[in-house]
């Protein structure tokens, strides 16, 4: 099998294994390495999320606590990555407020008598 045939076969096998939302980036030449870096940079910039952030992954999986995340933020300081990690606290707080609001709304709905809806449901 020629090199081109081997590469085409390899890419076909990889495409079968990877699910939607994944990308395979060959970085075997300087040009391909630069292409991969450009792709990752564009994706992170557009989506606002890092492709791979060990601290973020560990925090979301419960492998590190808030204190450990704070130490990582302090370690990275005011760098882009440090600011990115700091956003996790802001997002966590926003999510907590939203969960509380939904809980309050659900409690209100469960205590409200809505007999007219029961009649509509039977119609």
Total residues belonging to the chain: 123
pLDDT tens by residue, 87-119: 887 766 655 655 555 555 555 555 444 444 444
Considering the chain, what is the average pLDDT of its residues? 74
Q: Where do we find the tokens 């630069």?
A: 34
Domain ranges in the chain?
3-122
Contact by Cβ (8 Å): 85, 55: yes
Taking residue 56's Cβ as centre, other Cβ atoms within 10 Å add up to 18
The enclosing H or E element of 13 equals helix 3-17
pTM: 0.55
Running DSSP on this structure, what letter comes out for residue 79?
Answer: S
């Amino acid at each position: 099998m020629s090199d081109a045939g081997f590469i085409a076969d390899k890419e076909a096998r990889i495409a079968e294994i990877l699910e939607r939302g994944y990308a395979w980036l060959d970085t075997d030449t300087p040009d391909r390495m630069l292409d991969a870096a450009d792709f990752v940079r564009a994706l992170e910039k557009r989506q606002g999320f890092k492709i791979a952030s060990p601290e973020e992954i560990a925090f979301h999986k419960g492998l590190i606590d808030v204190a450990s995340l704070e130490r990582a933020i302090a370690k990275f300081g005011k760098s882009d990555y440090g600011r990115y990690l700091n956003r996790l606290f802001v997002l966590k707080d926003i999510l907590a407020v939203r969960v509380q609001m939904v809980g309050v709304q659900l409690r209100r709905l469960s205590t409200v008598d809505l007999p007219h809806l029961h009649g509509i449901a039977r119609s």
